Amino acid sequence: MNTIIIGLQWGDEGKGKIVDYLTEESDVVIRGQGGNNAGHTVIAKGSKYVLHLLPSGILWDSKINVIGNGVVIDLIGLVQEITRIESQGIVITPDKLLISDRAHVVLPVHKELDAAREAALGEHKIGTTKRGIGPAYADKVNRCGLRIADFLDREYTVQQITRRVAEANEVLARYDLTLFVAEQVIEEVYTAFERLRPHISNTIPVLHAAWKSGKKLLFEGAQGTLLDIDFGTYPFVTSSNTTAGGSCTGSGLPPTAIDAVIGVCKAYTTRVGSGPFPTVDEGLSEYLHGLGREFGATTGRPRGCGWLDTVLLRFACMVNGVTGLAVTNVDGLDEYEALQICTGYDIDGIVHTLPPADRKAWDRAVPIYETLPGWKSDTTGCTNFSALPAKAKAYLSRLAELCGAPIQFVGVGPDRVQTLVKITE
Ligand code: GDP
Ligand code: IMO
Ligand code: MG
C-alpha cells in the first residue's frame, strides 16, 4: 500500500505527526515538493522534533527517507537541520537519508531576494517564510536554476553562482540591502554540499526498485492544498504543487504507484501569512493562542484561527482524490460550547460550495454556518476512536459527510500516541 499524506487547508494540519505515526508500517518516506518553508512537528517518547527538509520518517530506525527531485534544498539549512536532529539522538546515515541529484538548490541570494520582494510589496506582501522558496522555484521554471548534480562540475557551478550573485546584487542594491560576495557564497554552499555528498544519488531507480519489490511507500506533502500554486488562493500561495500530483512529479514515481491519499486537516482552520480566510474568528484565535497553541514551527508567527471550512475541504478532497481523512487537533475544541461549520460561501447572494478563482470574490465571501453542539469534555486521554464523546463523533461524521470522504484517523494531542484509528465496519 503506497500512500500520499497531503494537507487539505493552508498548511500546518499535522502532516508530520501523521507521517511519523504511519512510518512504523512503511519502508520509505518521501518528500516531493516545497523546501524548508515547511515545519513539521513530531512529539515522540517525550521529545519534540521540528523537521523542515528532513522527511518525518527520519525518527524511526531502519526506514529510508528520500528528499526527492521536486524539493528545493537550502544546503546550508539542511546541514544545520541534520546537526540539530542528530544532537537529539537521531542517527542519520547515508543509507537512511537519500537526496535526489535532480533537486534544485536554494542559494543564500534566493532568501534575500524573497525578503526584498516582500518588503517591496509592503501591505500587499504574501507573508512568505523568507526561505527563498519563490525565487528558487522561479529560477527552476525559468531554466536558470542550479541542481545538486551541477555541483559535481565545480567550474560550471562557480560560474553560475557568480552570475546569480551579480544579478541578485543589482536588485538588492536598489533596496540598499547588504550585497553578497560571490566567493563567500561559493565557499559556504560548497562546504554544505561536501557534508551532504554521501547522501546524494539518483533516487529515481532506488524508489522504483522499492516499489517493484513491494516495499511500502509513504509520501509526505508539505504546505496545504489552498497554498498550491494552481489550486490555492493565488497569489497568496507557495510556489509548488502541494497537492497529490506533486508527490509523483517530485519523486519520479508514477500515479499508478499510488494506492491511497490521506488528507490531513485540523478540526478547525488555521492560516499563517497573508490572503483570504473567510472563517477566521478572533475569539477562537485568542483562545487557542492563550493555550500556547498555533504558533508557526518555522517562523514562530501566530497562526490565524477560524472555524472549520468545508468549502475548502470539499475542494481539497476533489483535487487530491482523498480516500481517507486524518482530522487532527480535535482536542483544541474540547472546551467549546457551540461549534460552527462553514458549509458554503454567500458571494453576492449566490451560494458557493467550492472556492472561487476570482481573487476579489474571496473578499466578498460570507461564510454560511451550521452550528453543532460542543462535547465539553477532555479528549486528550482517549486511546481509541470509540472512547470519543458522542458529540465529537457527530461533529466528525458531519465533517466527513460534507467533504465526501471517510474519517480514518483522529488526533487528540500532539504526541505520537495521541493518534486514534477509526476502524471501518
Ligand atoms: P504540519 O506542518 O502539517 O506537519 O503541522 P505542524 O507541525 O506545523 O503544526 C501542527 C501543530 O499541531 C504542531 O504543533 C503539532 O505538534 C500539533 N498537533 C498535531 N496533531 C495534534 C493533535 O491532534 N492535537 C494537538 N493538540 N496538537 C496536534
Ligand atoms: P507546512 O509544511 C503553513 C505559507 C507562508 C505564506 C505562503 C508562501 O509546515 O504545512 P513561502 O515561504 O512558501 O513562499 O510562503 O505559504 N507557508 C506555509 N504555511 N505551513 C507551511 O508548511 C507553509 N509553507 C509556506 O506562510 O503564506
Ligand atoms: Mg507546519
Q: What pLDDT score was predicted for residue 298?
A: 81
d(C-alpha 79, C-alpha 87), whole Å: 12
d(C-alpha 366, C-alpha 288), whole Å: 23
Ion ligand 3 residues within 5 Å by Cβ:
12, 39, 297
What's the CA-to-centroid distance between 41 and ligand 1, angstroms? Answer: 6
110 a catalytic residue = no
Protein residue whose Cα sits closest to atom 11 of ligand 2: 128
Q: What pLDDT score was predicted for residue 300?
A: 87
Q: What pLDDT score was predicted for residue 397?
A: 98
Protein residue whose Cα sits closest to atom 19 of ligand 2: 11
Q: Which three cell numbers stand for residue 261?
A: 491519499
Backbone angles phi and psi of 83, in degrees to 5: -60, -45
CA 334 to chain centre: 25
Candidates 272, 295, 329: which one to mutate for ligand 2, based on the most atoms within 8 Å of Cβ?
272
Q: Which helix (H) or strand (E) holds 341?
A: strand 338-347
40 a catalytic residue = yes
302 lines ligand 2 (CB under 6 A): no
How far apart, in Å, are the Cα atoms of 263 and each of 36, 65, 137, 240?
A: 21, 21, 25, 18
**Amino acid symbol at 274:** S
Over residues 17-67, the pLDDT tens digits come to 999 999 999 999 999 999 999 999 999 999 999 999 999 999 999 999 999
What's the CA-to-centroid distance between 368 and ligand 3, angstroms? Answer: 28
d(C-alpha 140, C-alpha 115), whole Å: 19
Q: Which ligand is nearest to the CA of 10?
A: 2
Over residues 101-150, the pLDDT tens digits come to 999 999 999 999 999 999 999 999 999 999 999 999 999 999 999 999 99
302 burial type by CB count under 10 A (0-12 exposed, 13-18 middle, 19+ buried)? middle
76 lines ligand 1 (CB under 6 A): no
Q: Which three cell numbers stand for residue 47?
A: 521529545
What residue segments make up the domains of the chain, in order of their start? Answer: 3-101+200-260, 105-195, 265-422
Q: What pLDDT score was predicted for residue 425?
A: 53
**Collapsed DSSP state (helix, strand, coil) of residue 171:** helix
CB count within 10 Å of CB 30 equals 30
Candidates 5, 9, 18, 37: which one to mutate for ligand 2, based on the most atoms within 8 Å of Cβ?
37
**Weakly modelled stretches of the chain, pLDDT under 50:** none
> Which of these CATH numbers, 3.40.718.10, 3.40.50.2300, 3.90.170.10, 3.40.309.10, describes 265-422?
3.90.170.10
First-to-last alpha carbon distance for the chain, in angstroms, is: 20
CATH topology of domain 3-101+200-260: Adenylosuccinate Synthetase; Chain A, domain 1 (3.40.440)
CATH architecture type of domain 105-195: Orthogonal Bundle (1.10)
What's the CA-to-centroid distance between 391 and ligand 2, angstroms? Answer: 33
**Amino acid symbol at 276:** P
